[in-house]
């Protein structure tokens, strides 16, 4: 059995900065490999106008709150920032973190964010085409920045399961992919991504496979690993369930002892 990594996505909603910061410190202390937030402007569940914090400003804080775990946004909405600016932001947070940033990105989907912040929502194909245009620009800007990112190359994660475009872009541009369950669907998406890699002459093993899970999935992690996941990311909102994080870390240790 292959070794796996584990992470936590802390939802930056219905919380205070102090509580969020404490949670970041706590999950790193518990031993996770990665810590993530998300890129939205309003809560995705619970009271629609509840407390919420912006992703990249928060990532800067997460870089200073941690010393070991990788950090990232799961995932940045491509529509909200100029791709050259985003590359510069990522390079800067990479330096602040000492080379621990993962640049997570996707096409975007939450219409309220677009409407209230003045972005054009358009259609899903419009947003995917924009992501396809942005990825080469991000990579080119990363190569031109002075100083360059500490980590070379700075890893790019693409989130989403669209088989015709998103997974194709992943095979072309990404170092990591993030998908969702159930395990049978995740397995299928992994196979589609493998096929795209082969079409572009790329070794599928060069893309790390991450999966987002909830606390209710912790009894079924073997199924996700068997479906191809090598990096399991547990989503948590306040009140923070650190017991679930401990279970996830223990799963990694127990499975690793059988590798």
**218, 228 Cβ separation under 8 angstroms:** no
pLDDT on residue 255: 87
**pLDDT tens string 120-175:** 999 999 999 999 999 999 999 999 999 999 999 999 999 999 999 999 999 999 99
Report cis status (omega within 30 of 0) of the bond before 235.
no
The set of residues, in sequence order, having a beta carbon less than 8 Å from that of 87 and lying 6+ positions away, is 137, 138, 139, 141, 142, 145
| DSSP label at residue 158 | E
Half-sphere exposure (Cβ direction) of 84: Cα atoms closer than 13 Å: 3
Helix/strand/coil percentages in the chain, nearest 5: 50, 15, 35
Beta strands in 59-147 (DSSP E): 70-73, 76-77, 101-106
Q: Which pLDDT band holds residue 1 (cuts at 50, 70, 90)?
A: low
In this prediction, what percent of the chain has a pLDDT beyond 70? 98
**pLDDT tens string 164-220:** 999 999 999 999 999 999 999 999 999 999 999 999 999 999 999 999 999 999 999
The mean pLDDT value for 56-60 works out to 98
pLDDT on residue 54: 98
Tokens of 146: 């002075």
pLDDT on residue 257: 53
The mean pLDDT value for 51-72 works out to 98
**158, 108 Cβ separation under 8 angstroms:** no
Question: Is residue 2 pLDDT above 90, yes or no?
Answer: no
pLDDT on residue 259: 46
Q: Give the containing element (helix H, strand E) for 30.
A: helix 17-30
């Amino acid at each position: 059995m292959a070794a796996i990594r584990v992470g936590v996505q802390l939802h930056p909603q219905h919380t205070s900065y102090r509580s969020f910061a404490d949670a970041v410190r706590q999950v790193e202390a518990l031993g996770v490999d990665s810590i993530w937030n998300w890129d939205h402007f309003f809560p995705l569940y619970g009271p629609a106008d509840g407390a919420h914090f912006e992703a990249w400003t928060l990532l800067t804080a997460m870089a200073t709150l941690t010393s070991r775990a990788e950090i990232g946004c799961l995932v940045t909405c491509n529509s909200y920032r100029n791709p050259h600016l985003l590359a510069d932001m990522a390079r800067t947070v990479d330096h602040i973190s000492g080379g621990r940033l993962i640049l997570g990105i996707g096409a975007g989907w939450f219409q309220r964010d677009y409407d209230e912040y003045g972005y054009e929502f358009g259609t899903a194909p419009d947003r995917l085409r924009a992501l396809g245009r942005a990825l080469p620009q991000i990579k080119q800007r990363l190569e031109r920045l002075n100083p360059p990112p500490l980590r070379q190359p700075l890893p790019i994660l693409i989130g989403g399961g669209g088989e015709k475009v998103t997974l194709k872009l992943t095979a072309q541009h990404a170092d990591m992919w993030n998908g969702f369950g159930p395990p049978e669907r995740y397995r299928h998406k992994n196979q589609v991504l493998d096929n795209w890699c082969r079409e572009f002459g790329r070794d599928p093993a060069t893309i790390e496979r991450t999966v987002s899970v909830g606390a209710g999935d912790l009894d079924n992690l073997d199924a996700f690993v068997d479906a191809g996941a090598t990096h399991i990311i547990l989503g948590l909102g306040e009140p923070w369930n650190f017991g679930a994080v401990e279970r996830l870390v223990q799963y990694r240790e127990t499975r690793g002892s059988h590798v």
